[in-house]
């Protein structure tokens, strides 16, 4: 039992330090991913949406949300041309990637904001998984 | 013989402490690295980005100075197994994950997964040597 008790003590020390760091560390992360995340119901309530698929080329080829344009960091320079051709400034640009744990949609959103100065950008909370769960798309066969 | 075990543990402890110190200087960068594994949700990743660096420092100090050594070994082994599982799943899924192991950006597309996995396995071996040598020394002294 001694190793477990000692491990519990170490965990308690580390936990206390990490809680303190959360409040005082200048580079402490926030529990809110960004101000960009919106759930599916909020996105569907928008009057006009321009969908962007930030997953890999393979995933996009297998299946994607109807009307979504592929834009990922792997082939940014090539894909941005197609994005700009199709993009509508009146619509809200909504980006999704594979799941809630996928960071790609935030990376694409950050680049659209910083490089193209597109302000009306949101990220779909839950990504592709949220679209599948809602029955708006079908899970692609492997 | 006992020097070998103690030396191995001190080396593993120093590696843990170094990895922890580097990460706790910039938890946001570590959070970004965790998210590239595409396993954890944002909230869990935030907790891990704050907790793991301090845990590594505590474990490192425990192994180097020999205080709370058994608990330090237990957590070190659990962390190393978790790191290996994360790296292997990222390699199998073909993700370009950022190791995040010793701070900085160490993308798999640049460094691959083999070295980070081998490094963790070596550290597990170091801990195993420490445990085995200690057991053998204790058994001898009992006789």
The C-alpha atoms of residue B61 and residue B50 are separated, in whole angstroms, by 18
DSSP state letter for A53: E
Write down the pLDDT at residue A50: 95
Write down the pLDDT at residue B74: 96
Q: What mean pLDDT is predicted for residues B25-52?
A: 86
Question: Does residue A141 carry a pLDDT above 70?
Answer: no
Whether B38 sits inside 8 A of A98 (CB atoms) is yes
The C-alpha atoms of residue B131 and residue B114 are separated, in whole angstroms, by 26
Whether A5 sits inside 8 A of B45 (CB atoms) is no
Q: Scanning the structure block, which residue is given the tokens 């993700």?
A: B95
Backbone φ, ψ for residue B91 (5° rounding):
-65, -45
Task: Give B54's contacts in chain A (Cβ within 8 Å).
Answer: 13-15, 17-18, 21
Backbone φ, ψ for residue B127 (5° rounding):
-65, -40
**Best of A1, A3, A56, A58 to disrupt the B interface by mutation (most B CBs within 10 Å)?**
A3
Residues with Cβ within 8 Å of residue A122, at least 6 apart in sequence = A36, A37, A38, A43, A92, A93, A94, A95, A109
User: What ipTM was estimated for this complex?
Assistant: 0.88
Selecting from B31, B68, B72 the residue whose C-beta is nearest the C-beta of A29 gives B31
Residue B37's pLDDT band (cuts 50, 70, 90): confident
Q: Which of B31, B68, B23, B64 is nearest to A9 (CA)?
A: B68
A9-52 pLDDT, tens digit per residue, is 999 999 999 999 999 988 787 776 666 778 888 888 888 999 99
Question: Does residue A95 carry a pLDDT above 90?
Answer: yes
Instruction: Answer for the pair B6, B141: CB distance below 8 angstroms, yes or no.
Output: no
Question: Does residue B109 carry a pLDDT above 70?
Answer: no
Whether B54 sits inside 8 A of A29 (CB atoms) is no
Task: Give A2's contacts in chain B (Cβ within 8 Å).
Answer: 70-71
Encode A40-54: b = buried (16+ Cβ within 10 Å), e = exposed.
beebeeeeebbbbbb
Q: What mean pLDDT is predicted for residues A71-93?
A: 91
Selecting from B40, B41, B55 the residue whose C-beta is nearest the C-beta of A14 gives B55
User: How big is chain B, counted in residues?
Assistant: 143
Whether B71 sits inside 8 A of A28 (CB atoms) is no
- Shortest Cα distance, chain B CAs vs residue A111, angstroms: 16
Whether B68 sits inside 8 A of A10 (CB atoms) is yes
Instruction: Answer for the pair A19, A12: CB distance below 8 angstroms, yes or no.
Output: no
Residue A86's pLDDT band (cuts 50, 70, 90): very high
Structure tokens at A9: 């003590």
Structure tokens at B82: 């978790």
Question: Does residue A3 carry a pLDDT above 70?
Answer: yes
Write down the pLDDT at residue A73: 84
Percent pLDDT > 90 in chain B is 59
Task: Give A15's contacts in chain B (Cβ within 8 Å).
Answer: 51, 54
Percent pLDDT > 70 in chain B is 94
Task: Give A19's contacts in chain B (Cβ within 8 Å).
Answer: 50
Q: What's the number of CA atoms in the CB half-sphere (13 Å) around residue A62?
A: 13
Write down the pLDDT at residue A39: 83
Whether A3 sits inside 8 A of B45 (CB atoms) is no
Question: Does residue B70 carry a pLDDT above 80?
Answer: yes
Mean pLDDT computed over every residue of chain A: 87
Q: Which of B36, B23, B43, B40 is nearest to B103 (CA)?
A: B23
Between these two residues, B82 and A98, which has the higher pLDDT value?
A: B82
Domain locations in chain A as residue ranges:
1-30, 37-133
Write down the pLDDT at residue B62: 96
Choice among A120-124, B42-46, B71-75, B81-85 with the minimum mean pLDDT: B42-46
Using CB atoms within 10 A of its CB, is residue A113 exposed (0-12), middle (13-18) or buried (19+)?
middle
Please give the CATH topology (third level) of the domain spanning A37-133: Oxidized Rhodanese; domain 1 (3.40.250)
Q: Mapped to the 3 state alphabet, what secondary structure does A72-98 carry?
A: CCCCHHHHHHHHHHHCCCCCEEEEECC
DSSP state letter for A68: P
Q: What mean pLDDT is predicted for residues A133-138?
A: 88
Task: Give B73's contacts in chain A (Cβ within 8 Å).
Answer: 3
DSSP state letter for A55: S
């Amino acid at each position: 039992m001694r190793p477990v008790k000692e491990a519990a003590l170490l965990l308690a020390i580390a936990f206390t330090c990490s809680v303190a760091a959360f409040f005082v560390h200048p580079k402490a992360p926030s529990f809110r991913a960004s101000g960009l995340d919106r759930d599916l119901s909020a996105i569907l309530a928008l009057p006009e949406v321009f969908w962007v698929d930030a997953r890999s080329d393979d995933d996009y080829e297998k299946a994607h949300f109807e009307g979504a344009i592929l834009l990922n960091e792997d082939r940014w320079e090539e894909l941005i041309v197609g994005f700009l051709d199709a993009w509508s400034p009146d619509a809200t640009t909504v980006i999704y990637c594979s799941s809630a744990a996928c960071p790609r949609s935030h990376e694409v959103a950050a680049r659209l904001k910083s490089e193209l100065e597109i302000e009306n950008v949101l990220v779909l909370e839950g990504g592709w998984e949220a679209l599948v769960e809602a029955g708006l798309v079908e899970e692609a066969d492997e | 013989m006992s020097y070998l075990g103690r030396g191995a543990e001190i080396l593993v402890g120093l590696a843990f402490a170094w990895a922890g110190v580097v990460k706790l200087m910039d938890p946001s960068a570590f959070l970004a690295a965790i998210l590239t594994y595409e396993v954890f949700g944002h909230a869990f990743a935030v907790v891990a980005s704050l907790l793991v660096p301090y845990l590594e420092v505590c474990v490192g100090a425990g192994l180097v100075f020999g205080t709370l050594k058994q608990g330090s070994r237990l957590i070190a082994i659990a962390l190393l197994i978790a790191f290996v599982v994360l790296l292997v799943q990222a390699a199998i899924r073909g993700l370009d994950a950022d190791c995040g192991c010793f701070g900085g950006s160490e993308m798999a597309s640049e460094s691959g997964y083999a070295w980070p996995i081998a490094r963790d396995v070596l550290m597990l071996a170091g801990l195993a040597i420490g445990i085995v040598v200690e057991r053998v020394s204790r058994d001898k002294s009992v006789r």
